[in-house]
Copies of this chain bind each other. A is one copy, B any other.
Protein backbone atom coordinates (compact mmCIF):
# COMPACT_ATOMS: atom_id res chain seq x y z
CA UNK A 1 0.00 0.00 0.00
CA UNK A 2 2.78 2.39 0.93
CA UNK A 3 4.75 1.60 -2.20
CA UNK A 4 1.64 1.76 -4.30
CA UNK A 5 0.82 5.18 -2.98
CA UNK A 6 4.26 6.59 -3.72
CA UNK A 7 4.49 4.80 -7.01
CA UNK A 8 1.26 6.35 -8.14
CA UNK A 9 2.20 9.90 -7.29
CA UNK A 10 5.64 9.44 -8.86
CA UNK A 11 4.04 8.23 -12.09
CA UNK A 12 1.61 11.15 -12.05
CA UNK A 13 4.59 13.47 -11.67
CA UNK A 14 6.35 11.80 -14.62
CA UNK A 15 3.23 12.18 -16.71
CA UNK A 16 2.88 15.87 -15.88
CA UNK A 17 6.55 16.73 -16.43
CA UNK A 18 6.70 14.56 -19.53
CA UNK A 19 3.90 16.47 -21.23
CA UNK A 20 5.46 19.80 -20.25
CA UNK A 21 8.87 18.69 -21.59
CA UNK A 22 7.40 17.50 -24.87
CA UNK A 23 5.52 20.75 -25.40
CA UNK A 24 8.66 22.82 -24.68
CA UNK A 25 10.60 20.75 -27.21
CA UNK A 26 7.89 21.20 -29.83
CA UNK A 27 7.98 24.94 -29.29
CA UNK A 28 11.65 24.74 -30.33
CA UNK A 29 10.52 22.69 -33.36
CA UNK A 30 12.77 19.72 -32.64
CA UNK A 31 12.14 16.59 -34.69
CA UNK A 32 10.05 13.83 -33.13
CA UNK A 33 13.03 12.04 -31.62
CA UNK A 34 14.41 15.26 -30.23
CA UNK A 35 11.03 15.74 -28.59
CA UNK A 36 11.27 12.21 -27.20
CA UNK A 37 14.70 12.86 -25.67
CA UNK A 38 13.52 16.11 -24.05
CA UNK A 39 10.40 14.38 -22.74
CA UNK A 40 12.66 11.75 -21.24
CA UNK A 41 15.06 14.26 -19.66
CA UNK A 42 12.30 16.41 -18.18
CA UNK A 43 10.22 13.57 -16.77
CA UNK A 44 13.02 11.35 -15.52
CA UNK A 45 15.92 13.73 -14.93
CA UNK A 46 15.07 14.83 -11.40
CA UNK A 47 14.45 11.33 -10.08
CA UNK A 48 17.52 9.99 -11.87
CA UNK A 49 19.75 12.60 -10.25
CA UNK A 50 18.17 11.85 -6.87
CA UNK A 51 18.91 8.14 -7.20
CA UNK A 52 22.47 8.75 -8.39
CA UNK A 53 23.14 11.08 -5.45
CA UNK A 54 21.93 8.69 -2.78
CA UNK A 55 23.33 5.61 -4.50
CA UNK A 56 20.02 3.90 -5.17
CA UNK A 57 21.39 2.22 -8.29
CA UNK A 58 20.44 1.21 -10.89
CA UNK A 59 18.23 4.28 -10.97
CA UNK A 60 14.50 3.69 -10.61
CA UNK A 61 13.44 3.82 -14.27
CA UNK A 62 15.99 1.16 -15.24
CA UNK A 63 14.51 -1.45 -12.93
CA UNK A 64 10.90 -0.57 -13.42
CA UNK A 65 9.19 -0.25 -16.78
CA UNK A 66 6.32 1.80 -15.38
CA UNK A 67 8.34 5.00 -15.57
CA UNK A 68 9.36 4.58 -19.22
CA UNK A 69 5.86 3.49 -20.18
CA UNK A 70 4.36 6.51 -18.45
CA UNK A 71 6.69 8.91 -20.20
CA UNK A 72 5.95 7.32 -23.56
CA UNK A 73 2.28 7.92 -22.83
CA UNK A 74 3.07 11.55 -21.99
CA UNK A 75 5.05 11.82 -25.23
CA UNK A 76 2.25 10.41 -27.37
CA UNK A 77 -0.34 12.56 -25.60
CA UNK A 78 1.68 15.67 -26.27
CA UNK A 79 2.35 14.64 -29.87
CA UNK A 80 -1.20 13.84 -30.86
CA UNK A 81 -3.11 16.31 -28.76
CA UNK A 82 -0.59 19.06 -29.29
CA UNK A 83 -3.06 21.68 -30.48
CA UNK A 84 -5.65 20.93 -27.87
CA UNK A 85 -3.23 20.85 -24.95
CA UNK A 86 -1.75 24.17 -26.01
CA UNK A 87 -5.14 25.75 -25.60
CA UNK A 88 -5.05 24.68 -22.00
CA UNK A 89 -2.02 26.59 -20.78
CA UNK A 90 -3.69 26.66 -17.42
CA UNK A 91 -4.02 22.89 -17.41
CA UNK A 92 -0.32 22.67 -18.14
CA UNK A 93 0.52 24.98 -15.27
CA UNK A 94 -1.58 22.80 -12.96
CA UNK A 95 0.07 19.62 -14.22
CA UNK A 96 3.52 21.10 -13.81
CA UNK A 97 2.70 22.26 -10.30
CA UNK A 98 1.38 18.80 -9.49
CA UNK A 99 4.59 17.24 -10.81
CA UNK A 100 6.72 19.54 -8.68
CA UNK A 101 4.75 18.78 -5.52
CA UNK A 102 4.60 15.04 -6.17
CA UNK A 103 8.30 14.64 -7.00
CA UNK A 104 9.35 16.74 -4.03
CA UNK A 105 7.43 14.77 -1.40
CA UNK A 106 8.39 11.39 -2.89
CA UNK A 107 12.06 12.37 -2.72
CA UNK A 108 11.76 13.59 0.87
CA UNK A 109 10.19 10.29 1.79
CA UNK A 110 12.91 8.37 -0.03
CA UNK A 111 15.49 10.40 1.86
CA UNK A 112 13.86 9.47 5.17
CA UNK A 113 13.92 5.81 4.11
CA UNK A 114 17.69 6.23 3.64
CA UNK A 115 17.95 7.77 7.15
CA UNK A 116 19.16 11.11 5.88
CA UNK A 117 19.10 14.32 7.88
CA UNK A 118 15.96 16.47 7.39
CA UNK A 119 18.00 19.28 5.81
CA UNK A 120 19.42 16.81 3.29
CA UNK A 121 15.95 15.41 2.62
CA UNK A 122 14.63 18.88 1.86
CA UNK A 123 17.59 19.51 -0.46
CA UNK A 124 16.91 16.19 -2.15
CA UNK A 125 13.24 17.00 -2.59
CA UNK A 126 14.04 20.39 -4.05
CA UNK A 127 16.62 18.89 -6.43
CA UNK A 128 14.22 16.19 -7.57
CA UNK A 129 11.43 18.66 -8.17
CA UNK A 130 13.56 21.23 -9.95
CA UNK A 131 16.25 19.41 -11.95
CA UNK A 132 14.03 17.80 -14.56
CA UNK A 133 13.10 21.31 -15.67
CA UNK A 134 16.66 22.59 -15.27
CA UNK A 135 18.04 19.82 -17.49
CA UNK A 136 15.31 20.52 -20.06
CA UNK A 137 16.14 24.23 -20.19
CA UNK A 138 19.92 23.71 -20.20
CA UNK A 139 19.71 21.30 -23.13
CA UNK A 140 17.38 23.68 -24.95
CA UNK A 141 19.97 26.38 -24.32
CA UNK A 142 17.96 28.65 -22.06
CA UNK A 143 18.53 30.00 -18.60
CA UNK A 144 16.42 27.66 -16.48
CA UNK A 145 12.89 28.91 -16.05
CA UNK A 146 13.18 27.85 -12.42
CA UNK A 147 15.55 30.72 -11.74
CA UNK A 148 13.51 33.39 -13.40
CA UNK A 149 9.80 33.67 -13.26
CA UNK A 150 8.49 31.53 -10.54
CA UNK A 151 8.61 30.50 -6.91
CA UNK A 152 9.73 27.01 -7.67
CA UNK A 153 12.61 26.03 -5.43
CA UNK A 154 11.17 28.11 -2.61
CA UNK A 155 7.87 26.21 -2.73
CA UNK A 156 9.79 22.94 -2.41
CA UNK A 157 11.80 24.18 0.53
CA UNK A 158 8.68 25.44 2.29
CA UNK A 159 6.93 22.14 1.63
CA UNK A 160 9.89 20.25 3.05
CA UNK A 161 9.81 22.30 6.23
CA UNK A 162 6.09 21.60 6.60
CA UNK A 163 6.79 17.88 6.05
CA UNK A 164 9.25 17.72 8.93
CA UNK A 165 7.05 19.91 11.08
CA UNK A 166 4.06 17.59 10.65
CA UNK A 167 6.12 14.46 11.32
CA UNK A 168 5.96 15.27 15.03
CA UNK A 169 2.17 15.40 15.03
CA UNK A 170 0.94 12.91 12.46
CA UNK A 171 1.84 9.26 12.23
CA UNK A 172 0.61 8.53 8.73
CA UNK A 173 3.43 9.44 6.31
CA UNK A 174 1.09 9.20 3.31
CA UNK A 175 -1.09 11.86 4.86
CA UNK A 176 1.95 14.02 5.60
CA UNK A 177 3.04 13.62 1.98
CA UNK A 178 -0.35 14.75 0.73
CA UNK A 179 -0.48 17.75 3.07
CA UNK A 180 3.07 18.87 2.22
CA UNK A 181 2.40 18.41 -1.47
CA UNK A 182 -0.71 20.57 -1.15
CA UNK A 183 1.37 23.27 0.56
CA UNK A 184 3.91 23.22 -2.28
CA UNK A 185 1.17 23.46 -4.88
CA UNK A 186 -0.67 26.23 -3.02
CA UNK A 187 2.49 28.35 -2.68
CA UNK A 188 3.17 28.09 -6.39
CA UNK A 189 -0.44 28.78 -7.31
CA UNK A 190 -0.64 31.64 -4.85
CA UNK A 191 2.53 33.13 -6.27
CA UNK A 192 1.13 33.00 -9.78
CA UNK A 193 -2.38 34.25 -9.18
CA UNK A 194 -1.77 36.66 -6.33
CA UNK A 195 1.54 38.00 -7.52
CA UNK A 196 3.65 36.81 -4.61
CA UNK A 197 7.30 37.48 -5.29
CA UNK A 198 10.64 36.78 -3.78
CA UNK A 199 12.05 39.66 -1.76
CA UNK A 200 13.99 41.92 -4.08
CA UNK A 201 17.65 41.86 -3.11
CA UNK A 202 18.84 44.18 -5.83
CA UNK A 203 17.05 47.34 -4.80
CA UNK A 204 15.57 47.97 -8.20
CA UNK A 205 13.85 46.56 -11.25
CA UNK A 206 14.76 43.10 -12.38
CA UNK A 207 16.28 42.96 -15.80
The interface of chain A, by Cβ under 8 A from chain B, is 25-26, 28-38, 40, 48, 52-55, 57-59, 61-63, 65, 68, 79, 82, 114, 116-117, 119-120, 123-124, 130, 134, 138-144, 146-148, 151-154, 157, 197-199, 201-202, 206-207
CA distance A146 to B130 in the complex (A): 24
In the bound complex, how far is the Cα of B34 from the Cα of A104, in angstroms?
Answer: 17
Q: Which of A29, A54, A147 gathers the greatest number of chain B CB atoms within 10 Å?
A: A147
Q: Please report whether the interface of chain A is mostly helix, strand, loop or mixed according to DSSP.
A: helix
Evaluate contact between B139 and A140: CB separation under 8 angstroms. Answer: no
A59 x B68 contact (CB < 8 A): no
Q: Is the CB of A148 within 8 A of B33?
A: no
List, in ascending order, chain B residues with CB within 8 A of A199's CB. Answer: 32
How far does the alpha carbon of A75 sit from the alpha carbon of B58 in the complex, in Å? 32
**Residue contact A37 to B147, C-beta cutoff 8 Å:** yes
Residues of B within 8 A of A146 (CB): 34, 37
A11 to B27, CA, bound (A): 38
Contact of A37 among B26, B68, B130 (CB under 8 A): B130
A119 adjacent to B65 (CB under 8 Å)? yes
Q: Evaluate contact between A123 and B198: CB separation under 8 angstroms.
A: no
Nearest chain B CB to A184 CB, angstrom units: 13
Please tell me if the beta carbons of B207 and A29 are within 8 angstroms of each other in the complex. Answer: yes
